[in-house]
């Protein structure tokens, strides 16, 4: 499994002091646990899609999770190592509610 990179736009309407934020505990890839600041509401944009989500502050890179990807109806294209809008719904995100 490898990395797939894409160009996303992130914005947060407020920028509070990180010391005053809610905190979340995360388990890192090496198994260590850390408590990190949790910020939100973060607006994520990709092409003609957008969603709102929260974010854990761990460093300078962004790791986009499954929930925002599903919310914006994005698909991974491993053969091209890229992210794209779902070709089955190119104009507006499709959600499944069963």
Residues contacting residue 58 through CB under 8 Å, at least 6 positions apart: 26, 34, 36
Distance CA 10, CA 63 (A): 12
**Predicted model pTM:** 0.72
Domain positions in the chain are 20-85
Distance CA 26, CA 80 (A): 30
What DSSP character marks residue 67? Answer: H
Residue spans of the chain under pLDDT 70: 1, 10-20
pLDDT, residue 31, reads: 95
pLDDT, residue 69, reads: 94
């Amino acid at each position: 499994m490898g990395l797939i990179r894409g160009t996303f736009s992130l914005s947060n309407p407020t920028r509070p002091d990180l010391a005053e934020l809610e905190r979340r505990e995360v388990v890192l890839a090496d198994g260590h646990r850390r408590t990190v600041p949790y910020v939100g509401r973060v607006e994520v944009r990709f092409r003609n899609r957008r969603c709102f989500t929260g974010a854990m502050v761990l460093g300078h890179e962004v790791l986009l999770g499954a929930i925002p990807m599903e919310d914006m109806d994005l698909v991974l294209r491993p053969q091209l190592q890229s992210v794209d809008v779902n070709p089955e719904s190119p104009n507006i995100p499709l959600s499944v509610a069963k």
